[in-house]
Amino acid sequence: MQRIGWRIPAAWLTLCIVWSSTWLAIKVGLRDLPPISFVAIRFLIAIVALSAVSVGRVRLLPLHRADYVVLALTGILMFAVNYTLLFWGELYVSSGLAAVLQATIPIFGMIFAHWMLPDEPLRLQKLMGALLALGGVALICMRLLSFSGLLAFWGGVGISLGGAGAAFSNVVLKKRAIQIAPAMLAAWQMIFGVIPLFILGFAVDGNPAHFHWSTMSIFCLLYLAVIGSSLTFLLLYWLLPRMSVTNLQTISLITPPGAVMLGWALGGEKFPLWSLLGAAVVLAGVWMIFHRTNDQSIAEAAAAVPDRG
């Protein structure tokens, strides 16, 4: 347990930093690339990267046929549904608003975990902490909420529904506990997710060879695929058996303030000083969720699950 103890907060912090930056990368990449094909190509590259680091090192195929059903279900929810709705929604709403809406993932996650995972009942303190943190996120991004009509409204609804699908996917994976290396777990999910995306992308967006492949769009695509997908999902699925779903999904409450800061520093978005109060509220809510549960859940998970590197 001591051997992996320091890796848990390091991996959690890395996920917070990287996922804070992906919102701006998506927004910039959407200037040149259509959303559905953008998602599909992103995860196709990620599949290649994850497979490359797995060949000769870990088992490539799941042990049971039923695992493929779980991987297909969660892959479609996580990658085909969640990310398509997220990319499409960011065409009409700001990156900060998208981060706020995806911060609802822990709320959905706690509800699903309450019904599906007996060891993770819904506690009032966690619920209040999540609601407090969401209030802080909303305060930070208040001046970024620039709705522009009905499409913006449905964009926001779509991003929220995608977050619910992602939360359900995480809980199903936690319950099923598929015995396969994290890299191939993510790769198989992506494979099942991108198949319908490429079909839909060709029908809606056309031939990718005709897209406007600017230097910036290529950079955003590679960053999202290699760093924002391959690296982060390796870390996510390594952490999944070592942290509770609720605690792990609080990453979605940390990333919106980071996304706003990067939007201010690199994307020209305004960040009023009073929004620092919102950041303090977010951290207070996250503390409420972790308090009295974090150390115990990590210790139990670390003792029960062998270190798979």
Q: Write phi, then psi, for 42 (nearest 5 degrees).
A: -55, -50
Give the tokens for residue 38.
Answer: 């953008």
CA distance 223 to 215: 12
Convert the chain into a string of H (helix), E (strand) and C (coil).
CHHHHCHHHHHHHHHHHHHHHHHHHHHHHCCCCCHHHHHHHHHHHHHHHHHHHHCCCCCCCCCCHHHHHHHHHHHHHHHHHHHHHHHHHCCCCCHHHHHHHHCCHHHHHHHHHHHHCCCCCCCHHHHHHHHHHHHHHHHHCHHHCCCCCHHHHHHHHHHHHHHHHHHHHHHHHHHHCCCCCHHHHHHHHHHHHHHHHHHHHHHHCCCHHHCCCCHHHHHHHHHHHHHHHHHHHHHHHHHCCCCCHHHHCCHHHHHHHHHHHHHHHHCCCCCCCCHHHHHHHHHHHHHHHHCCCHHHHHHHHHHHCCCCC
Question: Which residue, among 304, 237, 305, has the nearest Cα to 54 in the 3D structure?
Answer: 237
CA distance 101 to 256: 9
Number of neighbours of residue 8 by Cβ within 10 angstroms: 18
pLDDT of residue 160: 85
**Per-residue pLDDT for the chain (309 aa), expressed as one digit of tens each?**
445 577 888 888 899 999 899 999 999 999 999 999 999 999 999 999 999 988 988 889 988 888 999 999 999 999 999 999 999 999 988 787 788 778 777 778 878 888 888 887 878 887 888 788 778 777 766 655 655 567 778 888 888 889 889 989 989 988 887 888 888 888 999 999 999 999 999 999 999 999 999 999 999 999 999 999 888 878 887 887 788 766 776 776 778 888 888 887 887 766 556 556 776 787 677 677 766 544 334 333 322 222 223
Rg (CA), the chain: 19
pLDDT of residue 293: 47
Q: Which residues contact 221 (CB under 8 A, 6 or more apart)?
A: 29, 33, 38, 41, 42, 45
The CA angle 3-8-10, to the nearest 5 degrees, is: 105
In the chain, what are the domain boundaries? 2-304
Q: How long, in residues, is the chain?
A: 309
pLDDT of residue 147: 53
CA dihedral sign, ordered 235, 240, 244, 245 = positive
